[in-house]
Structure 1
Amino acid sequence: MNLSPGLLDVLACPVCHSPLRADDAASELVCTAPPITCGRAYPVRDDIPVLLVDEARLPDPS
């Protein structure tokens, strides 16, 4: 993933508005809220974050 640090500073989870962190290995932006609260992971395709709730992966229940 090639996202600018400035972009990561302003992006937030569309559901709970918590900051997002980059997971380069999975090509995702992950919500920093606890999984019990939100914890969604949003895909990054061609270096473009897809911040659509329908496209987000929910955290594993374990």
Structure 2
Amino acid sequence: MARNRNNQLVVPQARHALDQLKFEAAQELGIQIPADGYYGNIATRDAGALGGYITRKLIQIAEQQLGGRF
């Protein structure tokens, strides 16, 4: 069964910033990012740690931006 790939960015111009965040997070966690961009060989534990770290950072950024509005 084919998967519905709906992972398009709402703001396509943010791709570079998100990639930079991913590389910085991997570096801080000591996870080696594959040069070819294929993440299929990364351990599940590492992929989960990377995703969790990125999510926490994105929430932190959003909270900082929203904090100045209210």
* TM-score between the two structures when normalised by the length of structure 2: 0.31
Q: Greater CA radius of gyration, 1 or 2? A: 2
Q: Counting helix residues as a fraction of each chain, which structure ranks higher?
A: 2
* TM-score between the two structures when normalised by the length of structure 1: 0.33
Q: Counting strand residues as a fraction of each chain, which structure ranks higher?
A: 1
